Amino acid sequence: MTAPKNPSCVIIDNNEIDVYLIEHMVGLIGTLELVASFTDAQAGLRFLQAHPAVDLVLLDVDMPGLSGLELVRQLPVPHPAIIIITTHRDFAVDAFDLHITDYLLKPVELGRFSEAIRLMTQRHRLAALPNHPPLPLAAKSAAPSNPPAPLPEMTLAADGSHDLFVKINNRLVRLNFNDVLYIEAMSTYSVLVTAKQKYIVHLTLKSIAERLPFAHFRRVHRSYMVNTHLIDSIEDNVLTLAGHEVPLAKSYQDELLQSLRSL
> What is the structure's pLDDT at 1?
40
Where do the H-state alpha helices sit in 2-153?
16-29, 41-50, 68-73, 92-97, 110-127
Q: Cα separations (Å) of 100 from 82, 115, 181?
A: 5, 15, 40
End-of-domain residue from the set 75, 92, 127: 127
Q: How many CB atoms lie within 10 A of CB 123?
A: 15
Side by side, which strands form the sheet with 233-235?
Answer: 233-235, 238-241, 244-247
End-of-domain residue from the set 110, 127, 144: 127
> What is the structure's pLDDT at 39?
96
Number of compact structural domains in the chain: 2
Higher pLDDT, 146 or 44: 44
- 4 pLDDT above the threshold of 60: no
- 42 pLDDT above the threshold of 60: yes
Is the residue at 141 inside a domain? no
Helix 110-127 to helix 16-29 angle (10° resolution) is 60
Is the residue at 235 inside a domain? yes
pLDDT tens column, 69-91: 999 999 988 889 999 999 988 88
- 9 pLDDT above the threshold of 80: yes
Residues 12 and 111 in one domain: yes
Residues 159 and 115 in one domain: no
Is the residue at 143 inside a domain? no
Is the residue at 30 inside a domain? yes
Residues 24 and 109 in one domain: yes
Is the residue at 145 inside a domain? no
> What is the structure's pLDDT at 187?
66
Residue 87 is which amino acid? T
pLDDT tens column, 132-175: 444 343 333 334 445 556 667 777 776 666 788 877 656 788 88
Q: Residue 179's domain spans which residues?
A: 154-262
Residues 25 and 95 in one domain: yes
> What is the structure's pLDDT at 204?
85
Is the residue at 142 inside a domain? no
Q: Phi and psi of 218, rounded to 5°?
A: -130, 140
Average pLDDT, the chain: 83
Is the residue at 3 inside a domain? no
Residues 28 and 122 in one domain: yes
- 119 Cβ neighbours under 8 A, 6+ residues apart: 101, 102, 137
Residues 118 and 187 in one domain: no
- 211 Cβ neighbours under 8 A, 6+ residues apart: 154, 203
Residues 68 and 170 in one domain: no
Is the residue at 134 inside a domain? no
Domain harbouring 236, CATH code = 2.40.50.1020
Q: Measure the CA–CA gap between 6 and 260, rounded to whole angstroms.
A: 51
Residues 19 and 94 in one domain: yes
Side by side, which strands form the sheet with 198-201?
Answer: 198-201, 189-194, 180-186, 224-227, 217-221
Q: On the CB side of 109, how many CA atoms lie within 13 Å of its CA?
A: 3
Q: On the CB side of 229, how many CA atoms lie within 13 Å of its CA?
A: 9
Q: What's the distance, Cα to Cα, between the start and end of the chain in Å?
A: 65
Higher pLDDT, 38 or 107: 38
> What is the structure's pLDDT at 145?
44
Percent of the chain with pLDDT strictly greater than 70: 84
Residues 122 and 165 in one domain: no
Domain harbouring 118, CATH code = 3.40.50.2300
- 186 pLDDT above the threshold of 80: no
Percent of the chain with pLDDT strictly greater than 90: 41
Residues 122 and 185 in one domain: no
